[in-house]
């Protein structure tokens, strides 16, 4: 069976879709899994052994162009994990006979099988809601998948070269200060500066600050703030696949709930992650697909006193 799985949004959202593709492939190895993703996630999708083919949804092209790409793959069934009108109409035009999606938004009228999930109630994590949709195709499907889900043969080589180039002779604790997507809680830069200094004062680890390709201003600001310290500043200009290989060998990855957190945890890197105290943006909804024993998740309270209490707790953890 040729199965199209669509998740055409950001990095973290795409990673929550990977267990779905894995279990579909392993339910029957003859299933051919075709992932529809945005350009950002192309190289990561292509690195997954359980994804047979990748379709790129480039929003600069027309819906008709996307529909043509899909139709050429002779899809038997599709599962759209997060729908929008564009992806819904494209599948309708491609005449996929069985089209599965959550029963949300006006786009649901273009699907043949609409599943009521009420994700806003957060009865499960996002990736678990995604997995649930597979039962519309296979009632007896198992949700088991390995943790870490991905590994790369050359990760150690990538990491060793990075350490050699930067004179690193200690394990690395990384901070990723930027955020986007559904993340709406984070420490401010003054607070992050304090947390970074806690790790430096402990004098056990090399600190690396990582920045995405659209975070150049933040990259420059943190260099100005901390120029007197032995910190490595990594401004990502390589592919997301290179970044994945690099961070898979880090001792700890510290960030808000954003795509890089999902990436690190999926790869088996221990994480310390900060979420909002709202249900929509909580760890209950956005916990990673990785091993929960390797995740330290904290909700940042909106109350100033409780926020300060949590901040002191995090400081203590980083200086222990």
Coil vs helix vs strand at 40: helix
Query: Distance between CA 102 and CA 287 in Å, rounded?
Result: 20
Strand partners of residue 271: 253, 295
The helix (H) or strand (E) run that includes residue 199 is helix 189-202
Each residue's pLDDT tens digit in the chain (320 positions)? 999 999 999 999 999 999 999 999 999 999 999 999 999 999 999 999 999 999 999 988 999 999 999 999 999 999 999 999 999 999 999 999 999 999 987 889 999 999 999 888 999 999 999 999 999 999 999 999 999 999 999 999 999 999 999 999 999 999 999 865 444 578 999 999 999 999 999 999 999 999 999 999 999 999 999 999 999 999 998 899 999 999 999 999 999 999 999 999 999 999 999 998 888 889 999 999 999 999 999 999 989 999 999 999 999 999 87
Give the closest residue to 24 by CA, choosing from 112, 145, 115, 147. Answer: 145
φ, ψ for residue 112, nearest 5 deg: -85, -25
Question: Do the domains at 2-136 and 155-318 have one common CATH topology?
Answer: yes
Q: How far is CA 125 from CA 39, 117, 152, 251, 287, in A?
A: 25, 12, 26, 25, 6
Q: How far is CA 149 from CA 20, 91, 254, in A?
A: 12, 28, 20
- Helix, strand and coil in the chain, % to nearest 5: 45, 20, 40
Q: How far is CA 185 from CA 146, 282, 303, in A?
A: 30, 10, 12
Is residue 53 within 8 Å of residue 31, measured between CB atoms? Answer: no
pLDDT in tens, 263-303: 999 999 999 999 988 888 899 999 999 999 999 999 999 89
And the tokens for 237?
Answer: 């200009």
Q: How far is CA 110 from CA 17, 20, 79, 83, 299, in A?
A: 21, 22, 13, 10, 37
pLDDT in tens, 91-128: 999 999 999 999 987 889 999 999 999 888 999 999 99
List the domain boundaries for the chain.
Answer: 2-136, 155-318
Would you tell me which CATH number, out of the four given (3.40.50.980, 3.40.50.2000, 3.40.50.970, 3.40.50.10860), belongs to the domain 2-136? 3.40.50.2000
Q: How far is CA 102 from CA 35, 90, 181, in A?
A: 17, 17, 20
The highest-level CATH class for domain 155-318 is alpha beta
And the tokens for 218?
Answer: 């933040």
Q: How far is CA 101 from CA 108, 191, 227, 290, in A?
A: 7, 41, 50, 24
């Amino acid at each position: 069976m040729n199965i199209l799985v669509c998740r055409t949004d950001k990095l973290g959202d795409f990673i929550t879709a990977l267990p779905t593709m894995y279990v579909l492939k392993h339910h029957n190895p003859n299933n051919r899994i075709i992932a529809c993703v945005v350009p950002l996630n192309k190289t990561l999708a292509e690195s997954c052994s359980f994804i047979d083919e990748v379709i790129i949804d480039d929003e600069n092209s027309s819906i008709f162009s996307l529909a043509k790409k899909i139709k050429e793959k002779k899809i038997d069934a599709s599962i759209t994990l997060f729908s929008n009108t564009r992806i819904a109409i494209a599948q309708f035009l491609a005449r996929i006979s069985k089209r599965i999606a959550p029963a949300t938004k006006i786009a649901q009228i273009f699907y043949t099988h609409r599943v009521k999930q009420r994700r806003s109630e957060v009865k499960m994590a996002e990736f678990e809601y995604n997995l649930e949709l597979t039962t519309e195709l296979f009632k007896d499907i198992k949700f088991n998948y390995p943790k870490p889900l991905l590994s790369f043969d050359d990760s150690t080589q990538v990491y060793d070269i990075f350490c050699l180039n930067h004179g690193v002779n200690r394990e690395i604790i990384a901070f990723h200060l930027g955020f986007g997507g559904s993340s709406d809680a984070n420490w401010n830069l003054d607070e992050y500066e304090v947390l970074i200094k806690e790790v430096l004062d402990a004098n056990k680890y090399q600190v690396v600050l990582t920045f995405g390709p659209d975070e150049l201003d933040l990259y420059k600001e943190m260099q100005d703030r901390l120029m007197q310290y032995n910190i490595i500043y990594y401004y990502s200009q390589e592919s997301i696949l290179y970044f994945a290989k690099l961070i898979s060998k880090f001792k700890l990855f510290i960030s808000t709930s954003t795509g890089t957190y999902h990436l690190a945890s999926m790869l088996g890197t221990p994480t310390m992650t900060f979420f909002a105290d709202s249900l929509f943006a909580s760890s209950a909804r956005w916990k990673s697909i990785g091993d929960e024993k390797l995740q330290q998740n904290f909700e940042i309270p909106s109350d100033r006193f409780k926020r300060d209490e949590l901040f002191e707790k995090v400081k203590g953890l980083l200086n222990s």
